[in-house]
Chains A and B, each alone.
Chain A
Protein backbone atom coordinates (compact mmCIF):
# COMPACT_ATOMS: atom_id res chain seq x y z
CA UNK A 1 0.00 0.00 0.00
CA UNK A 2 1.23 3.50 -0.79
CA UNK A 3 2.09 5.66 2.22
CA UNK A 4 -0.34 8.48 3.01
CA UNK A 5 1.51 11.63 4.13
CA UNK A 6 -0.78 14.12 5.84
CA UNK A 7 -0.48 17.74 6.96
CA UNK A 8 -0.57 19.13 10.49
CA UNK A 9 -0.26 22.79 11.37
CA UNK A 10 -0.96 22.25 15.06
CA UNK A 11 -0.69 19.45 17.61
CA UNK A 12 -4.49 19.07 17.45
CA UNK A 13 -4.31 18.58 13.68
CA UNK A 14 -1.51 16.03 14.13
CA UNK A 15 -3.66 14.01 16.51
CA UNK A 16 -6.60 14.30 14.09
CA UNK A 17 -4.45 13.07 11.19
CA UNK A 18 -3.15 10.07 13.14
CA UNK A 19 -6.66 9.19 14.32
CA UNK A 20 -8.00 9.46 10.77
CA UNK A 21 -5.45 6.98 9.44
CA UNK A 22 -2.35 8.89 8.35
CA UNK A 23 0.68 6.68 7.80
CA UNK A 24 2.89 9.74 8.22
CA UNK A 25 2.31 13.34 9.28
CA UNK A 26 4.40 16.29 8.15
CA UNK A 27 4.73 19.47 10.18
CA UNK A 28 7.15 22.26 10.97
CA UNK A 29 8.53 24.51 13.67
CA UNK A 30 6.95 27.88 14.39
CA UNK A 31 9.51 29.98 12.55
CA UNK A 32 10.87 30.79 9.12
CA UNK A 33 12.37 27.34 8.60
CA UNK A 34 9.19 25.94 7.10
CA UNK A 35 7.10 27.02 4.15
CA UNK A 36 3.87 27.46 6.11
CA UNK A 37 5.04 30.15 8.51
CA UNK A 38 1.60 31.60 9.27
CA UNK A 39 0.40 33.34 12.45
CA UNK A 40 -0.73 30.98 15.21
CA UNK A 41 0.46 27.92 13.31
CA UNK A 42 3.14 25.26 13.76
CA UNK A 43 4.98 23.58 16.60
CA UNK A 44 7.19 24.62 19.49
CA UNK A 45 10.08 22.26 20.27
CA UNK A 46 8.12 20.68 23.15
CA UNK A 47 5.00 20.31 20.99
CA UNK A 48 7.05 18.64 18.27
CA UNK A 49 8.54 16.10 20.69
CA UNK A 50 5.11 15.36 22.16
CA UNK A 51 3.57 15.09 18.69
CA UNK A 52 6.21 12.64 17.53
CA UNK A 53 5.74 10.53 20.66
CA UNK A 54 1.96 10.55 20.10
CA UNK A 55 2.32 9.48 16.46
CA UNK A 56 4.92 6.79 17.18
CA UNK A 57 2.76 5.30 19.92
CA UNK A 58 0.08 4.80 17.27
CA UNK A 59 2.33 3.50 14.52
CA UNK A 60 2.54 6.70 12.47
CA UNK A 61 5.67 8.56 11.35
CA UNK A 62 6.42 12.27 11.63
CA UNK A 63 8.33 14.12 8.93
CA UNK A 64 9.58 17.58 9.85
CA UNK A 65 9.53 20.16 7.06
CA UNK A 66 12.52 22.49 7.19
CA UNK A 67 12.01 23.42 3.61
CA UNK A 68 12.78 27.10 3.23
CA UNK A 69 16.14 28.39 2.04
CA UNK A 70 18.53 29.70 4.74
CA UNK A 71 19.30 33.37 4.42
CA UNK A 72 22.95 34.45 4.19
CA UNK A 73 24.47 34.78 7.65
CA UNK A 74 21.48 33.19 9.38
CA UNK A 75 21.93 29.50 8.62
CA UNK A 76 22.12 28.76 12.35
CA UNK A 77 18.32 28.94 12.66
CA UNK A 78 17.98 26.21 10.03
CA UNK A 79 20.80 24.08 11.48
CA UNK A 80 19.16 24.21 14.93
CA UNK A 81 15.86 23.13 13.38
CA UNK A 82 17.47 20.04 11.85
CA UNK A 83 19.24 19.19 15.13
CA UNK A 84 16.04 19.67 17.16
CA UNK A 85 13.99 17.55 14.74
CA UNK A 86 16.58 14.77 15.01
CA UNK A 87 16.65 15.03 18.81
CA UNK A 88 12.83 14.91 18.96
CA UNK A 89 12.87 11.60 17.09
CA UNK A 90 11.63 12.72 13.67
CA UNK A 91 11.44 9.91 11.12
CA UNK A 92 12.78 12.24 8.43
CA UNK A 93 13.38 15.89 7.69
CA UNK A 94 12.11 17.45 4.47
CA UNK A 95 14.72 19.84 3.09
CA UNK A 96 15.12 21.90 -0.08
CA UNK A 97 18.40 23.81 0.15
CA UNK A 98 21.60 22.06 -1.03
CA UNK A 99 23.63 23.70 1.71
CA UNK A 100 21.23 22.53 4.39
CA UNK A 101 21.16 19.05 2.84
CA UNK A 102 24.97 18.96 3.00
CA UNK A 103 24.87 20.12 6.62
CA UNK A 104 22.22 17.55 7.62
CA UNK A 105 24.02 14.71 5.81
CA UNK A 106 27.28 15.59 7.55
CA UNK A 107 26.07 16.48 11.04
CA UNK A 108 23.24 13.92 11.33
CA UNK A 109 24.25 10.88 9.27
CA UNK A 110 21.51 8.71 10.76
CA UNK A 111 18.72 11.14 9.89
CA UNK A 112 16.59 10.21 6.90
CA UNK A 113 16.43 13.00 4.31
CA UNK A 114 13.52 13.79 2.04
CA UNK A 115 13.76 16.37 -0.73
CA UNK A 116 11.05 19.00 -0.50
CA UNK A 117 8.87 20.01 -3.43
CA UNK A 118 10.50 23.41 -2.88
CA UNK A 119 13.66 22.01 -4.49
CA UNK A 120 11.71 21.58 -7.76
CA UNK A 121 13.63 18.45 -8.75
CA UNK A 122 11.69 17.47 -11.85
CA UNK A 123 13.91 14.96 -13.65
CA UNK A 124 15.81 11.79 -12.79
CA UNK A 125 19.26 13.37 -13.17
CA UNK A 126 18.48 16.04 -10.57
CA UNK A 127 16.92 13.49 -8.21
CA UNK A 128 19.84 11.08 -8.56
CA UNK A 129 22.24 13.92 -7.82
CA UNK A 130 20.48 14.61 -4.51
CA UNK A 131 20.32 10.89 -3.71
CA UNK A 132 23.97 10.17 -4.51
CA UNK A 133 25.40 13.38 -3.03
CA UNK A 134 23.40 13.72 0.18
CA UNK A 135 21.78 10.33 0.63
CA UNK A 136 18.26 11.65 -0.01
CA UNK A 137 15.85 8.72 0.27
CA UNK A 138 12.67 10.30 -1.05
CA UNK A 139 11.77 13.20 -3.33
CA UNK A 140 8.51 15.13 -3.28
CA UNK A 141 7.87 15.78 -6.96
CA UNK A 142 6.83 19.25 -8.15
CA UNK A 143 3.27 19.64 -9.29
CA UNK A 144 4.18 20.17 -12.95
CA UNK A 145 4.58 16.55 -14.09
CA UNK A 146 2.24 14.21 -15.93
CA UNK A 147 1.71 10.65 -14.71
CA UNK A 148 3.74 9.40 -17.70
CA UNK A 149 6.63 11.69 -16.76
CA UNK A 150 6.49 10.44 -13.15
CA UNK A 151 6.65 6.86 -14.41
CA UNK A 152 9.67 7.78 -16.55
CA UNK A 153 11.42 9.30 -13.54
CA UNK A 154 10.76 6.21 -11.42
CA UNK A 155 12.30 3.99 -14.09
CA UNK A 156 15.54 5.98 -13.82
CA UNK A 157 15.95 6.35 -10.05
CA UNK A 158 15.92 4.23 -6.92
CA UNK A 159 14.96 7.25 -4.83
CA UNK A 160 11.39 6.98 -3.54
CA UNK A 161 8.90 9.44 -5.05
CA UNK A 162 6.05 11.21 -3.26
CA UNK A 163 3.37 13.21 -5.08
CA UNK A 164 0.60 15.59 -4.05
CA UNK A 165 -2.91 14.22 -4.48
CA UNK A 166 -5.07 16.83 -2.77
CA UNK A 167 -5.18 20.46 -1.68
CA UNK A 168 -3.92 23.87 -2.66
CA UNK A 169 -2.22 23.78 -6.03
CA UNK A 170 1.01 25.68 -6.54
CA UNK A 171 1.33 26.11 -10.29
CA UNK A 172 4.72 27.83 -10.41
CA UNK A 173 8.28 26.43 -10.26
CA UNK A 174 8.20 25.78 -6.55
CA UNK A 175 10.96 27.28 -4.48
CA UNK A 176 11.62 29.77 -7.26
CA UNK A 177 8.38 31.73 -7.42
CA UNK A 178 8.75 35.43 -6.64
CA UNK A 179 5.21 36.63 -7.32
CA UNK A 180 4.35 37.01 -3.66
CA UNK A 181 7.78 38.50 -2.92
CA UNK A 182 7.15 41.15 -5.56
CA UNK A 183 3.86 42.16 -4.01
CA UNK A 184 4.81 42.00 -0.33
CA UNK A 185 8.58 42.06 0.09
CA UNK A 186 8.40 38.75 1.98
CA UNK A 187 9.55 35.56 0.31
CA UNK A 188 7.70 32.24 0.30
CA UNK A 189 11.08 30.60 -0.14
CA UNK A 190 13.06 32.29 2.63
CA UNK A 191 10.42 33.61 5.03
CA UNK A 192 8.01 30.73 4.51
CA UNK A 193 5.02 32.84 3.60
CA UNK A 194 3.22 32.92 0.26
CA UNK A 195 0.64 35.72 0.42
CA UNK A 196 1.49 36.60 4.04
CA UNK A 197 -1.64 37.40 6.02
CA UNK A 198 -0.03 40.59 7.26
CA UNK A 199 -0.23 41.92 3.70
CA UNK A 200 -3.73 40.66 2.86
CA UNK A 201 -6.71 42.96 3.09
CA UNK A 202 -10.35 41.98 2.65
CA UNK A 203 -13.09 44.54 2.31
CA UNK A 204 -16.74 44.55 1.26
CA UNK A 205 -17.43 47.07 -1.47
CA UNK A 206 -20.57 47.48 -3.58
CA UNK A 207 -21.89 44.02 -2.77
CA UNK A 208 -18.64 42.25 -3.56
CA UNK A 209 -15.71 41.12 -1.47
CA UNK A 210 -12.39 42.55 -2.56
CA UNK A 211 -9.09 40.89 -1.72
CA UNK A 212 -5.83 42.83 -1.92
CA UNK A 213 -2.29 41.56 -1.50
CA UNK A 214 0.30 44.23 -0.78
CA UNK A 215 -2.17 46.80 -2.06
CA UNK A 216 -2.79 44.99 -5.37
CA UNK A 217 -6.41 44.11 -6.05
CA UNK A 218 -6.35 40.44 -7.00
CA UNK A 219 -9.97 39.30 -6.57
CA UNK A 220 -13.37 40.89 -6.61
CA UNK A 221 -15.94 38.25 -5.70
CA UNK A 222 -19.66 38.99 -5.95
CA UNK A 223 -21.65 37.96 -2.88
CA UNK A 224 -22.72 34.33 -3.10
CA UNK A 225 -19.77 33.29 -5.26
CA UNK A 226 -16.96 31.08 -4.02
CA UNK A 227 -14.07 33.09 -2.53
CA UNK A 228 -10.49 32.04 -3.43
CA UNK A 229 -7.22 32.37 -1.51
CA UNK A 230 -5.45 35.72 -1.99
CA UNK A 231 -2.62 34.31 -4.15
CA UNK A 232 -1.34 36.14 -7.19
CA UNK A 233 -1.02 32.97 -9.28
CA UNK A 234 -4.78 32.50 -9.05
CA UNK A 235 -5.69 36.18 -9.18
CA UNK A 236 -8.10 37.73 -11.64
CA UNK A 237 -6.40 40.40 -13.74
CA UNK A 238 -6.99 42.55 -16.76
CA UNK A 239 -4.41 42.03 -19.49
CA UNK A 240 -3.96 44.73 -22.13
CA UNK A 241 -5.11 43.39 -25.47
CA UNK A 242 -3.00 45.59 -27.71
CA UNK A 243 -5.03 46.23 -30.81
CA UNK A 244 -7.71 43.92 -29.48
CA UNK A 245 -9.99 44.33 -26.50
CA UNK A 246 -8.38 43.95 -23.04
CA UNK A 247 -9.14 40.61 -21.37
CA UNK A 248 -10.04 40.06 -17.75
CA UNK A 249 -9.64 36.62 -16.21
CA UNK A 250 -7.43 34.20 -14.33
CA UNK A 251 -4.24 34.78 -16.28
CA UNK A 252 -2.14 32.02 -14.66
CA UNK A 253 -4.57 29.49 -13.19
CA UNK A 254 -8.17 29.29 -12.05
CA UNK A 255 -8.74 29.24 -8.28
CA UNK A 256 -9.16 25.48 -8.00
CA UNK A 257 -7.60 22.80 -5.83
CA UNK A 258 -5.93 19.55 -6.72
CA UNK A 259 -7.87 16.31 -6.35
CA UNK A 260 -6.11 13.35 -7.93
CA UNK A 261 -8.22 10.65 -6.29
CA UNK A 262 -9.04 9.06 -9.64
CA UNK A 263 -5.36 8.89 -10.55
CA UNK A 264 -4.25 6.98 -7.45
CA UNK A 265 -4.17 3.58 -9.24
CA UNK A 266 -2.22 5.12 -12.14
CA UNK A 267 0.22 6.78 -9.73
CA UNK A 268 0.74 3.47 -7.94
CA UNK A 269 1.39 1.81 -11.29
CA UNK A 270 3.86 4.61 -12.10
CA UNK A 271 5.92 3.55 -9.09
CA UNK A 272 4.97 6.32 -6.67
CA UNK A 273 5.76 5.36 -3.07
CA UNK A 274 3.79 8.00 -1.13
CA UNK A 275 0.80 10.30 -1.58
CA UNK A 276 0.81 13.73 -0.01
CA UNK A 277 -2.08 15.88 1.12
CA UNK A 278 -1.52 19.64 1.16
CA UNK A 279 -2.93 21.84 3.91
CA UNK A 280 -0.83 22.54 6.99
CA UNK A 281 -2.59 25.90 7.15
CA UNK A 282 -5.99 24.20 7.39
CA UNK A 283 -8.00 23.18 10.45
CA UNK A 284 -8.20 19.85 12.22
CA UNK A 285 -11.67 19.43 10.65
CA UNK A 286 -10.13 19.55 7.16
CA UNK A 287 -7.33 17.20 8.16
CA UNK A 288 -9.71 14.64 9.67
CA UNK A 289 -12.08 14.61 6.70
CA UNK A 290 -9.45 14.57 3.96
CA UNK A 291 -7.20 12.01 5.61
CA UNK A 292 -10.11 9.68 6.30
CA UNK A 293 -11.24 9.92 2.67
CA UNK A 294 -7.76 9.34 1.24
CA UNK A 295 -6.99 6.47 3.60
CA UNK A 296 -10.10 4.79 2.21
CA UNK A 297 -8.96 5.60 -1.34
CA UNK A 298 -5.46 4.21 -0.78
CA UNK A 299 -6.88 1.02 0.68
CA UNK A 300 -9.31 0.75 -2.22
CA UNK A 301 -6.44 1.16 -4.69
CA UNK A 302 -4.48 -1.51 -2.84
CA UNK A 303 -7.31 -4.00 -3.22
CA UNK A 304 -8.25 -3.00 -6.76
CA UNK A 305 -11.60 -1.53 -5.72
CA UNK A 306 -13.07 1.59 -7.42
CA UNK A 307 -12.01 4.99 -6.08
CA UNK A 308 -14.48 6.66 -3.69
CA UNK A 309 -15.71 10.07 -4.86
CA UNK A 310 -17.05 13.49 -4.33
CA UNK A 311 -17.08 14.10 -0.62
CA UNK A 312 -14.34 16.70 -0.45
CA UNK A 313 -15.38 19.31 -3.04
CA UNK A 314 -16.63 21.83 -0.52
CA UNK A 315 -13.26 21.80 1.25
CA UNK A 316 -11.41 22.93 -1.86
CA UNK A 317 -10.46 26.42 -2.95
CA UNK A 318 -12.96 27.62 -5.49
CA UNK A 319 -15.01 24.62 -4.37
CA UNK A 320 -13.82 23.05 -7.59
CA UNK A 321 -11.11 20.51 -8.27
CA UNK A 322 -8.60 19.72 -10.97
CA UNK A 323 -6.18 16.90 -11.68
CA UNK A 324 -3.55 19.60 -12.24
CA UNK A 325 -0.59 18.74 -14.44
CA UNK A 326 -1.07 14.99 -13.97
CA UNK A 327 -3.51 14.95 -16.85
CA UNK A 328 -3.54 18.51 -18.12
CA UNK A 329 -3.19 20.25 -21.42
CA UNK A 330 -1.64 23.63 -20.60
CA UNK A 331 -3.20 26.66 -22.19
Chain B
Protein backbone atom coordinates (compact mmCIF):
# COMPACT_ATOMS: atom_id res chain seq x y z
CA UNK B 1 0.00 0.00 0.00
CA UNK B 2 1.37 3.43 -0.85
CA UNK B 3 1.11 6.64 1.08
CA UNK B 4 -0.64 8.25 -1.88
CA UNK B 5 -3.34 5.62 -1.61
CA UNK B 6 -3.77 6.39 2.07
CA UNK B 7 -3.85 10.11 1.71
CA UNK B 8 -5.90 10.59 -1.42
CA UNK B 9 -9.01 8.84 -0.35
CA UNK B 10 -12.17 9.93 -2.14
CA UNK B 11 -14.62 12.23 -0.39
CA UNK B 12 -16.39 10.18 2.26
CA UNK B 13 -19.69 8.73 1.09
CA UNK B 14 -20.87 8.58 4.70
CA UNK B 15 -22.60 11.35 6.57
CA UNK B 16 -20.15 14.01 7.75
CA UNK B 17 -22.23 14.18 10.93
CA UNK B 18 -21.31 10.58 11.77
CA UNK B 19 -17.60 11.19 11.24
CA UNK B 20 -17.90 14.39 13.26
CA UNK B 21 -19.51 12.46 16.09
CA UNK B 22 -16.61 10.01 16.22
CA UNK B 23 -14.00 12.76 16.08
CA UNK B 24 -15.85 14.72 18.76
CA UNK B 25 -15.73 11.68 21.05
CA UNK B 26 -11.97 11.46 20.41
CA UNK B 27 -11.58 15.18 21.16
CA UNK B 28 -13.56 14.87 24.40
CA UNK B 29 -11.42 11.90 25.45
CA UNK B 30 -8.23 13.88 24.81
CA UNK B 31 -9.59 16.82 26.82
CA UNK B 32 -10.46 14.46 29.69
CA UNK B 33 -7.04 12.81 29.76
CA UNK B 34 -5.16 16.10 29.24
CA UNK B 35 -7.06 18.73 31.22
CA UNK B 36 -4.12 21.15 30.95
CA UNK B 37 -5.02 21.73 27.29
CA UNK B 38 -8.17 23.70 28.08
CA UNK B 39 -6.41 25.46 30.97
CA UNK B 40 -3.64 26.65 28.64
CA UNK B 41 -6.14 27.63 25.96
CA UNK B 42 -8.07 29.80 28.41
CA UNK B 43 -10.55 32.00 26.55
CA UNK B 44 -9.19 30.74 23.22
CA UNK B 45 -10.78 27.36 23.96
CA UNK B 46 -14.03 28.91 22.79
CA UNK B 47 -12.64 29.66 19.33
CA UNK B 48 -13.55 27.65 16.24
CA UNK B 49 -10.36 26.31 14.61
CA UNK B 50 -10.50 25.35 10.95
CA UNK B 51 -8.07 22.47 10.36
CA UNK B 52 -7.32 22.37 6.64
CA UNK B 53 -5.33 19.18 6.14
CA UNK B 54 -4.48 19.66 2.51
CA UNK B 55 -4.22 15.99 1.55
CA UNK B 56 -7.51 14.78 3.01
CA UNK B 57 -10.80 15.38 1.27
CA UNK B 58 -12.65 17.19 4.05
CA UNK B 59 -12.25 20.22 6.32
CA UNK B 60 -12.44 19.92 10.10
CA UNK B 61 -13.84 22.55 12.43
CA UNK B 62 -12.63 22.05 15.99
CA UNK B 63 -14.27 23.75 18.98
CA UNK B 64 -12.10 22.67 21.95
CA UNK B 65 -14.15 24.01 24.86
CA UNK B 66 -17.33 22.54 23.44
CA UNK B 67 -15.58 19.23 22.73
CA UNK B 68 -16.94 19.35 19.21
CA UNK B 69 -15.38 18.45 15.87
CA UNK B 70 -17.44 19.02 12.73
CA UNK B 71 -16.69 17.81 9.24
CA UNK B 72 -17.29 19.82 6.07
CA UNK B 73 -16.82 19.23 2.40
CA UNK B 74 -14.05 21.37 0.90
CA UNK B 75 -16.60 23.23 -1.17
CA UNK B 76 -18.37 24.46 1.98
CA UNK B 77 -15.80 26.33 4.10
CA UNK B 78 -17.44 27.08 7.47
CA UNK B 79 -17.10 30.34 9.40
CA UNK B 80 -14.13 30.10 11.76
CA UNK B 81 -12.07 32.21 14.13
CA UNK B 82 -8.66 30.77 13.29
CA UNK B 83 -7.26 28.53 10.58
CA UNK B 84 -4.28 26.19 10.25
CA UNK B 85 -3.37 24.71 6.88
CA UNK B 86 -0.81 22.05 6.08
CA UNK B 87 -0.22 18.46 5.10
CA UNK B 88 -1.27 15.52 7.25
CA UNK B 89 2.42 14.72 7.73
CA UNK B 90 3.09 18.23 9.05
CA UNK B 91 0.15 18.13 11.48
CA UNK B 92 1.07 14.69 12.83
CA UNK B 93 4.79 15.45 13.13
CA UNK B 94 4.03 18.59 15.10
CA UNK B 95 1.47 16.87 17.31
CA UNK B 96 3.92 14.12 18.23
CA UNK B 97 6.85 16.46 18.92
CA UNK B 98 8.96 15.41 15.95
CA UNK B 99 8.78 18.72 14.08
CA UNK B 100 8.81 22.22 15.52
CA UNK B 101 5.70 24.26 14.67
CA UNK B 102 7.66 27.45 14.02
CA UNK B 103 10.08 25.61 11.71
CA UNK B 104 7.11 24.26 9.74
CA UNK B 105 5.78 27.81 9.59
CA UNK B 106 9.14 29.24 8.42
CA UNK B 107 9.30 26.70 5.62
CA UNK B 108 5.72 27.33 4.53
CA UNK B 109 4.69 23.76 5.36
CA UNK B 110 2.12 25.22 7.76
CA UNK B 111 0.20 28.45 7.24
CA UNK B 112 -2.14 30.17 9.65
CA UNK B 113 -4.96 32.68 9.31
CA UNK B 114 -7.48 34.48 11.49
CA UNK B 115 -6.84 34.85 15.22
CA UNK B 116 -3.08 34.35 15.50
CA UNK B 117 -3.19 34.36 19.32
CA UNK B 118 -5.70 31.49 19.31
CA UNK B 119 -3.48 29.45 16.98
CA UNK B 120 -0.46 30.11 19.17
CA UNK B 121 -2.35 29.11 22.31
CA UNK B 122 -3.52 25.89 20.65
CA UNK B 123 -0.02 25.04 19.44
CA UNK B 124 1.47 25.61 22.88
CA UNK B 125 -1.30 23.74 24.71
CA UNK B 126 -1.01 20.70 22.45
CA UNK B 127 2.78 20.74 22.57
CA UNK B 128 2.76 20.65 26.35
CA UNK B 129 0.15 17.87 26.45
CA UNK B 130 2.47 15.38 24.69
CA UNK B 131 -0.45 13.67 22.99
CA UNK B 132 -0.02 10.26 21.41
CA UNK B 133 -2.76 9.86 18.81
CA UNK B 134 -2.44 6.08 18.74
CA UNK B 135 -2.87 5.89 22.51
CA UNK B 136 -5.88 8.19 22.33
CA UNK B 137 -7.49 6.03 19.65
CA UNK B 138 -6.65 2.89 21.59
CA UNK B 139 -8.40 4.34 24.63
CA UNK B 140 -11.57 4.29 22.55
CA UNK B 141 -11.06 1.34 20.24
CA UNK B 142 -8.92 -1.10 22.20
CA UNK B 143 -5.41 -2.49 22.06
CA UNK B 144 -5.75 -3.69 18.44
CA UNK B 145 -5.30 -0.03 17.42
CA UNK B 146 -1.58 -0.29 18.23
CA UNK B 147 -0.99 -2.96 15.63
CA UNK B 148 -2.98 -1.13 12.98
CA UNK B 149 -1.19 2.13 13.79
CA UNK B 150 2.25 0.52 13.52
CA UNK B 151 1.30 -1.01 10.17
CA UNK B 152 -0.13 2.25 8.83
CA UNK B 153 2.93 4.18 10.02
CA UNK B 154 5.24 1.74 8.22
CA UNK B 155 3.20 1.94 5.04
CA UNK B 156 2.67 5.68 4.97
CA UNK B 157 5.73 7.13 6.71
CA UNK B 158 3.41 9.22 8.87
CA UNK B 159 4.18 9.81 12.55
CA UNK B 160 1.16 8.25 14.24
CA UNK B 161 2.57 7.81 17.72
CA UNK B 162 5.14 9.20 20.16
CA UNK B 163 6.69 5.76 20.47
CA UNK B 164 10.17 5.78 19.01
CA UNK B 165 10.23 9.55 18.57
Binding site for B on A (CB under 8 A): 9-13, 16, 38-41, 196-198, 200-204, 209, 221, 223-228, 281-286, 288-289, 314-319
Nearest Cβ on chain B to A193's Cβ, whole angstroms: 10
Contact residues in A for B107 (Cβ distance below 8 Å)? 226-227, 314, 319
Contact residues in B for A221 (Cβ distance below 8 Å)? 108
Interface presence of B151 (CB below 8 A): no
Contact residues in A for B124 (Cβ distance below 8 Å)? 9-10, 38-41
Contact of B116 among A197, A225, A228, A286 (CB under 8 A): A197
The interface bits of chain B over 105-122 (1 if a CB of A lies within 8 angstroms of the residue's CB, else 0) are 111100111001111111
What is the predominant secondary structure among interface residues of chain B facing chain A? helix
A282-B100, A283-B97 are contacts. A39–B128 as well, Cβ < 8 Å? no
Q: List 10 A-B contacts (CB under 8 A).
A: A11-B128, A39-B117, A39-B118, A197-B120, A226-B106, A284-B97, A285-B100, A286-B100, A286-B103, A318-B106
Beta-carbon contact of B120 and A39 below 8 Å: yes
| Measured CA separation A234–B126 after assembly (Å) | 28
What is the predominant secondary structure among interface residues of chain A facing chain B? mixed
Contact residues in A for B41 (Cβ distance below 8 Å)? 40
Beta-carbon contact of B113 and A284 below 8 Å: no
Beta-carbon contact of B121 and A39 below 8 Å: yes
What residue in chain B is nearest A30 (Cβ atoms)? Answer: B40
Contact of A223 among B103, B108, B120, B128 (CB under 8 A): B108
| Measured CA separation A225–B105 after assembly (Å) | 11
Closest 10 CB pairs of A and B: A40-B124, A40-B121, A39-B121, A10-B128, A197-B117, A286-B100, A200-B116, A198-B117, A285-B100, A197-B116
Contact of A198 among B97, B98, B112, B116 (CB under 8 A): B116
Interface presence of B132 (CB below 8 A): no
| Measured CA separation A318–B107 after assembly (Å) | 8
Contact of A40 among B44, B103, B105, B113 (CB under 8 A): B44
Nearest Cβ on chain B to A132's Cβ, whole angstroms: 40
Nearest Cβ on chain B to A210's Cβ, whole angstroms: 11
| Measured CA separation A325–B57 after assembly (Å) | 49
Contact residues in B for A228 (Cβ distance below 8 Å)? 106
Contact residues in A for B122 (Cβ distance below 8 Å)? 40
Beta-carbon contact of B42 and A204 below 8 Å: no
| Measured CA separation A75–B129 after assembly (Å) | 32
